Each structure stands twice: as structure tokens, then as C-alpha cells.
Amino acid sequence: QALRQISQRTISTAARRQVENRVPEHQKLFQEDNGLPVHLKGGAKDALLYRATMGLTMFGTAYAIYYLIVASMPKQ
């Protein structure tokens, strides 16, 4: 009983932050015709994540091809 009252009091009296609506500014950013693909319009962070993803993809592909070649060779 006491635990339930404490949890209800904590939830009901928690300070509520007002979150600013930033959708219109994001819409302007992503709809701007600046020649960039949409997945790079977020700036340097997006470019870094894109390059890291492509690097890992290339590494994984090369690794898989290497082990397919190794597995296809007969053991001596």
C-alpha cells in the first residue's frame, strides 16, 4: 500500500518540461534543394555515420569473400 502511494505521488508530481516543436525547421532543412541526398542532410554527424557504415559494409563483404575462397580450397 505504501509503495503504491509513493509511486503514484512520484509520477503525478513530476515536473513536466515543455518541448519546443522543431518540426518546421527540420522540414526546411530536409526539403531544401542543395544537391545532397536526404541521408546526408543532417550535417557532419550523418556523413560520419554514413562513412562508418560503408566502411563496415566493405570490410564485411571482403571478409566474407576471403573466407568463401579459403573454404573452397581443398586442405593439403
Q: What is the pLDDT of residues 50-67, one digit of tens each?
A: 999 999 999 999 999 999
Task: State whether residue 73 is helix, strand or coil.
Answer: coil
Cα 2 to the center of its chain, rounded Å: 41
Q: What is the pLDDT of residue 19?
A: 84
Q: Smallest Cα–Cα separation from 2: which of 31, 68, 10?
A: 10
Residue 33 cell numbers, joined: 534543394
Domain boundary assignment for the chain: 42-75
| Host H or E run for residue 22 | none
Q: For residue range 3-41, what is the model confidence (pLDDT) as tens digits?
A: 666 665 555 555 566 789 999 998 998 999 999 999 899
